[in-house]
Amino acid sequence: MASHRRPKQTSPRRTGVLTVTAAAAMALSTQAASADPLPDPTKKGVKAQVDRLYEQATQATEKYNGAQEEAAVLKKQVADLQDTAARKQGELNELRDRIGAVAAGQYRSGGLDPALQLFLSEDPDTYLEKASDLDRAGDRQAAQLQEFTDRQRALRQQREEASGKLRDLDAVQKELGGRKAEIQGRLREAQRLLNTLSAKERERIAQEEDRANRASARVDLGNEKSVSGRAAAAFAAAKSRVGLPYVWGASGPGSFDCSGLTSWAFRQADVSIPRTSQAQASAGTRIDSLSALRPGDLIIMRTDLSHVGFYAGNGQILHSPKPGAQVRYESIARSGMPFMWGVRIG
């Protein structure tokens, strides 16, 4: 028959000892488990910081591109103004020579009072004809002098305008230098953070990029059609660049930033669009709905409009996304960038 003795009560002191022993055993167990390589808890934070630095670098790149485009326009304006000023200076010199020749001739032939010349003339009618010619010559000279003054004033204005454009160009070139330093600083900081990760963690990040590139090669774009021949031609040109690297400030044909890819592709379709994503955002017909987009339409991303790509069909974007990446297809929903609107060109 089974015994029904009450179990022996554990003393409070013994209970404390057991608790401490259990805690120690748990600590030892945790230590043993930590001997196996676990993901670095800071890795996700570093990756997020790197992604943010890349985003800031691409935002600065679009500002750099804008300043570069402005500098190109100013350089052309300065060159045109200087060419015009040189031509006007040549015309002014020629006019000055003509006026000087007339004045020198009058000086050599002058000396007698016109009334005395008439009195001494053997043929008063001939003299009067000559006097009339001299009056007309005087009128022509006065007109030439007025023309000279007007051209001189126009030349001075032209030179002042050219000087102003040169000052503007100098300011823009200084901005370019600042933007370039900002971009390079962001990229250096991103690389410094990446270097703090272990080789295994860096390899993990590289593998993520490799998976994104392989997924791009297998993407299903559906069978949507472009709305125009030009959009189709631009999209086809962009598709031919898949796999080429992102390089900030690059506009092809061997490397691209985001707006460099879209502007290059449209040039291949004989369509000129602005260089920056912000300017491209208003370069055509705005389309607010993703469902209304067709392949070859531009997609404007981020609230500051600092990213652009092509709508590729089936919810995909074709773009040059960031430093370290390649031109590729990605799901718009998984791109990590908010969709703002689309733009239809042509």
Q: Which long-range contacts (CB under 8 A, 24 or more apart) does 328-336 make?
A: 328/212, 328/213, 328/216, 328/242, 328/243, 329/215, 329/216, 329/219, 329/221, 329/242, 330/212, 330/215, 330/216, 332/290, 332/299, 335/301, 336/51
CB neighbours of residue 279 within 10 Å = 18
Catalytic residue among 78, 169, 190, 258: 258
Q: What token pair was written down for 15?
A: 């209970």
Site of tokens 């935002």 = 59
Q: Which of 63, 88, 165, 307 is catalytic?
A: 307
Determine which one of 294, 319, 322, 344 is catalytic: 319
Q: Quickly list DSSP for 43-68.
A: HHHHHHHHHHHHHHHHHHHHHHHHHH
Contacts of 194 (CB under 8 A, 6+ apart): 46, 50, 202, 205
CA distance linking residue 302 with residue 74, whole number of Å: 29
Report DSSP letters for 248-310, one per residue. Answer: TT-BSSS-B-HHHHHHHHHHHTT----SSHHHHTTSSEEE--GGG--TT-EEEESTT--EEEE
Q: Is 4 a catalytic residue?
A: no
CA distances, 157 to each of 84, 128, 148 (Å): 11, 44, 14
| Upstream peptide bond of 41 is cis (omega within 30 degrees of 0) | no
Q: Supply the residues annotated as catalytic.
A: 258, 307, 319
